[in-house]
Chains A and B, each alone.
Chain A
Amino acid sequence: MTSTSRLIVGPFNRVEGDLEVTLDIADGVVAEARVNAPLYRGFEQILLGRPATDAMVIAPRICGICSVSQSVAAARAIARVAEVEPPANGRLATDLVLACENAADHLTHFVVFFVPDFARACYASRPWFAAARRRFAANEGETARALLPARARFLHIMGLLAGKWPHSLAIQPGGVTKAVDPAEKVRLLSILAEFREALETTLFADRLEAVASLDSLEALENWADAEAPDRGDFRLFLHICRDLELDRLGGGPGVLVSSGSFGLFQPGVWTPNSVAPFDPGMVVEDVAMSWMEGAAASPFEGRTMPSPDKPGAYTWCKAPRLGGRVVEVGALARQVVDGHPLARALVASGGAGSVKARVVARLLELARLIPAMEDWVRALRPAEPFCNAAPEQAMDGAATGMVEAARGTLGHWLTTHDGRIDGYQIVAPTTWNFSPRDGDNRPGALEQALVGTPVLPGETTPVAVQHVVRSFDPCMVCTVH
């Protein structure tokens, strides 16, 4: 006989922002999930009627952890309307600031948000528990104690290039406001060298290049077995993955999207048999189950009008769809679309990915980003321009600003009239991943990923559900901008 029960889970901490998940449970597994973003913030309404360049101040303040990504998306949208392009130095400095945020966020996710769950009492009987408790415990674990100071010092790149993090105005449509001099170039390389050392000592216990060149599941498992299980946090995580079978938990919708980043990670839409071009023009935001007025529309046409008493709706989040499809975005999507062989292997069986695949892809990307940042610093040419001035005349037009935030594809859809904002729609990574059902009753990516997740007797906040939710590294404050 099937027994069905309902659990409402929240507050979800160690995710950024407010999240509640309603689970219908049958026979010890999740049968259906509904994801509720219980906060609405109104940024798209606040931006209307303002001077277009004010988006540079307002949009980053959507989020304290994706602030630079919002900044870059706004700058790119305005740049396309104003028809200005950054010079080479401006592009490199912007890439460095964005990569610094992406890399810091990936580290924060692993250390602060994700691995502390393995140090919880529910795992006390596992063979790896003593090591996990010692290293991964929230705030007190050796990993947090070693890597949070390293992260703080890595963010000195932000102090130098962006003035501060979060909420900088250094990234402008025409480049960056901060030119780098020869001494600062050396300081940037010193900061990167220190961060590399911390990652290669504590997180990976190996060279970044060795991690980035792992090219198959077999290579990954051989690497995990090459040393003692607690040699490096990544290796310990891989051993925990094996025991808990995290490669079989949390499969997503099987369509992975990336808008491409840094010229380093190629854009595209991946399905198990092909990679197709990514076209932002195919994005439609559905609001059937959202507390929002209106109908499904392109973000250029869409408006954001709250409707708090709408029957059947259950979240403030809209439901973006790409050509009608539910998609997943994030580091896994970026690495799979780009064709990294290990990332491709991690989604090969079934195409849906897993908790393990998402976390491994994030660390793989971290290992790829730092050497790229070292190259970009070396390519900076002091005394050549860092910023081109935007034209003086009032801007009229419509444009999309796309960027890859740590958590995935972020887009700003901007329309201006007489230099003022006529329309501003933001589709954030977690809007994609944590969207509700749409008008055709198709569940969002997390809602699909949670189906089949085990719920143990007596669990009020099922730990496997928490692993699946956190594997997406959600940012709820961006979601409900």
Chain B
Amino acid sequence: MSALAAEDVGMVKALGRFGIRLLWHPSLSEECGAEAIAILDDVAAGRVALDCLCVEGSVLDGPNGSGRFQMMSGTGVSMKDWIARLAARARHVVAIGSCAAYGGVPSAGPNPTDARGLQFSGWDAGGALGKGFRSAENLPVINISGCAPHPGWVVETLASLALGDFGADRLDGLGRPRAIADHLAHHGCARNEFYEFKASASRPSDRGCLMENLGCRATQAPGDCNIRRWNGSGSCTDAGFTCVNCTSPGFESPTGPFQETAKLAGIPVGLPVDMPKAWFVALAALSKSATPPRVRTNAHADHVLVPPARRPPKSP
């Protein structure tokens, strides 16, 4: 449903600009019931060409491998079997969201439905279509992860596929488009000054950095969330809450509470990616000792209490 707001014009129009037409979409198409099944049958039998199969939601294997936890209505056949049938015919297979990519929230805890992603099950390449799956264009499943994924990610990935220059080198090791996953959610975070000085929020609605106490994983989370922005101008951290790293496998099962930072001897367990621990500890201590009173004060308020100093430029 996030994609319905894509590009402020809606997904159908945004995709139409690239010559992409929806054969069938469960929320958007006119065809219902028998007419819809006829379309899927035509694709499965090879009578209608399928450029791209997009799957939303985890693939449910249970109970006992039967797939009965999700039956395709009106067909008596499980969704996992329909996915296998259609994937075999598709030039490209795209997982929309972390559920279809890696299993996502339904695979958390006891994983009551035996939920998996299309090609991955968490970090393991053991998804429903199998480790070695390649689509007709010889690509693995393209994982537009995220919970929910940004509508722009969906539109741009599908448009890139339509442009015909999308190769395996455009994907990271977890099948994510690198155009998105080469960034971190931290990039462009408006709390940057608080991060730099380790001036940390301690309770919801504080303006300070969310990493030290409130569980923010933006320094580890792949995504351009704070660069491109959501629903106009938004982002998780801008709205004052923690990044839960929803683009990564296993985000649904953190070691502690989502909104608390797991620490060992006072040091966050999850450090910024590529940052040596000793340097992080040393720089954090240095930053804290250098924190301007303005930044420290504002970190614990929900609006700016102390504005930046106004000083005329110094004459040489």
Establish whether residues A164 and B105, one from each chain, have CB atoms under 8 Å apart when the complex forms.
no
Q: Which residue of B lies closest to A105 (CB)?
A: B1
Establish whether residues A11 and B148, one from each chain, have CB atoms under 8 Å apart when the complex forms.
no
B50 to A: closest C-beta gap in Å: 17
A96 to B: closest C-beta gap in Å: 13
Establish whether residues B204 and A11, one from each chain, have CB atoms under 8 Å apart when the complex forms.
no
Q: Interface digits, B158-192 against A, CB 8 Å rule (1 contact, 0 not)?
A: 00000000000000000000000000000000000
Given A112-B27, A161-B239, does the pair A53, B259 have CB atoms closer than 8 Å? yes
Q: B244 on the interface (CB 8 Å rule)?
A: yes
Q: Which of A143-192 contact B (CB under 8 A)?
A: 144-145, 148-149, 151-153, 155-170, 172, 174-179, 181
User: Which of A45, A148, A169 contacts B112 (CB under 8 A)?
Assistant: A45
Q: Which of A93-112 contact B (CB under 8 A)?
A: 108, 112
User: Which of B27, B148, B258 contacts A54 (CB under 8 A)?
Assistant: B258
B304 to A: closest C-beta gap in Å: 8
- List of B residues within 8 angstroms of A50 by Cβ: 109
Establish whether residues B256 and A51, one from each chain, have CB atoms under 8 Å apart when the complex forms.
yes
Given A40-B113, A57-B244, does the pair A177, B108 have CB atoms closer than 8 Å? no
Establish whether residues B240 and A10, one from each chain, have CB atoms under 8 Å apart when the complex forms.
no
- List of B residues within 8 angstroms of A49 by Cβ: 109
Given A11-B37, A139-B28, does the pair A386, B12 have CB atoms closer than 8 Å? no
B44 to A: closest C-beta gap in Å: 14
Establish whether residues B25 and A151, one from each chain, have CB atoms under 8 Å apart when the complex forms.
no
Establish whether residues A14 and B239, one from each chain, have CB atoms under 8 Å apart when the complex forms.
no
- List of A residues within 8 angstroms of B205 by Cβ: 175-179, 385-387
Q: Interface digits, B227-242 against A, CB 8 Å rule (1 contact, 0 not)?
A: 0011111111111111
Establish whether residues A20 and B74, one from each chain, have CB atoms under 8 Å apart when the complex forms.
yes
The docked-state distance in angstroms from the alpha carbon of A177 to that of B191 is 14
- List of B residues within 8 angstroms of A229 by Cβ: none
Q: A116 on the interface (CB 8 Å rule)?
A: yes
Number of inter-chain CB pairs below 8 Å: 252
Given A53-B258, A163-B235, A168-B239, does the pair A112, B5 have CB atoms closer than 8 Å? no
User: Which of B30, B60, B233 contacts A119 (CB under 8 A)?
Assistant: B30
Q: Which of A447-481 contact B (CB under 8 A)?
A: 460-461, 466
Q: Which residue of A lies closest to B97 (CB)?
A: A64
A6 to B: closest C-beta gap in Å: 13
B184 to A: closest C-beta gap in Å: 17
B283 to A: closest C-beta gap in Å: 27
Given A64-B148, A166-B148, A386-B302, does the pair A38, B70 have CB atoms closer than 8 Å? yes
- List of A residues within 8 angstroms of B73 by Cβ: 10-12, 18-20, 36, 38
Q: Interface digits, A10-48 against B, CB 8 Å rule (1 contact, 0 not)?
A: 111110101110000000000000001011111101111
The docked-state distance in angstroms from the alpha carbon of A43 to that of B58 is 13
- List of B residues within 8 angstroms of A167 by Cβ: 147-148, 246
- List of A residues within 8 angstroms of B236 by Cβ: 163-164, 168-169
Establish whether residues A42 and B257, one from each chain, have CB atoms under 8 Å apart when the complex forms.
no
Q: Which residue of B lies closest to A55 (CB)?
A: B258
Q: B311 on the interface (CB 8 Å rule)?
A: no
A398 to B: closest C-beta gap in Å: 20
Q: B134 on the interface (CB 8 Å rule)?
A: no
Q: B203 on the interface (CB 8 Å rule)?
A: yes
B213 to A: closest C-beta gap in Å: 12
The docked-state distance in angstroms from the alpha carbon of A40 to that of B2 is 22
Establish whether residues B240 and A170, one from each chain, have CB atoms under 8 Å apart when the complex forms.
yes
The docked-state distance in angstroms from the alpha carbon of A119 to that of B74 is 23
Q: Which residue of B lies closest to A150 (CB)?
A: B8
Q: B296 on the interface (CB 8 Å rule)?
A: no
- List of A residues within 8 angstroms of B74 by Cβ: 8-11, 20
Establish whether residues B240 and A178, one from each chain, have CB atoms under 8 Å apart when the complex forms.
yes
- List of B residues within 8 angstroms of A48 by Cβ: 109
Q: A308 on the interface (CB 8 Å rule)?
A: yes
User: Which of B34, B204, B258 contacts A460 (CB under 8 A)?
Assistant: B34
Given A14-B27, A41-B113, A145-B13, does the pair A64, B1 have CB atoms closer than 8 Å? yes
The docked-state distance in angstroms from the alpha carbon of A72 to that of B59 is 28
Q: A256 on the interface (CB 8 Å rule)?
A: no
Q: A138 on the interface (CB 8 Å rule)?
A: yes
The docked-state distance in angstroms from the alpha carbon of A255 to that of B23 is 41
Establish whether residues B204 and A172, one from each chain, have CB atoms under 8 Å apart when the complex forms.
yes
Interface-central residue, A151, A163, A389, A466, by most chain B CB under 10 Å = A163
Q: A58 on the interface (CB 8 Å rule)?
A: yes
Interface-central residue, B7, B79, B204, B241, by most chain A CB under 10 Å = B204
The docked-state distance in angstroms from the alpha carbon of A472 to that of B246 is 32
Closest 9 CB pairs between A and B? A10-B73, A159-B234, A163-B239, A461-B33, A177-B240, A10-B74, A159-B231, A156-B232, A42-B112
Known contacts A11-B75, A149-B9, A155-B232, then 17 further A-B pairs from the complex at CB < 8 Å, ordered by chain A residue: A11-B36, A11-B73, A12-B32, A19-B73, A43-B106, A152-B7, A152-B10, A158-B231, A160-B233, A164-B234, A166-B2, A168-B241, A170-B239, A170-B241, A177-B204, A179-B302, A316-B69
Interface residues of A (CB under 8 A from B): 8-14, 16, 18-20, 36, 38-43, 45-51, 53-54, 56-58, 61, 64-65, 108, 112-113, 116-117, 119-120, 137-139, 144-145, 148-149, 151-153, 155-170, 172, 174-179, 181, 306, 308, 316, 382-383, 385-387, 389, 460-461, 466
Interface residues of B (CB under 8 A from A): 1-2, 4-10, 12-13, 22, 24-37, 60, 63, 66, 68-75, 79, 104-106, 108-113, 147-148, 203-205, 229-242, 244, 246, 252, 256-259, 302-303
User: Would you mind naming 19 contact pairs between A and B with Cβ atoms under 8 Å apart?
Assistant: A13-B26, A13-B28, A13-B36, A39-B69, A39-B79, A46-B108, A54-B258, A58-B105, A61-B104, A108-B4, A116-B30, A139-B28, A156-B233, A159-B232, A159-B233, A161-B239, A168-B236, A177-B241, A466-B32
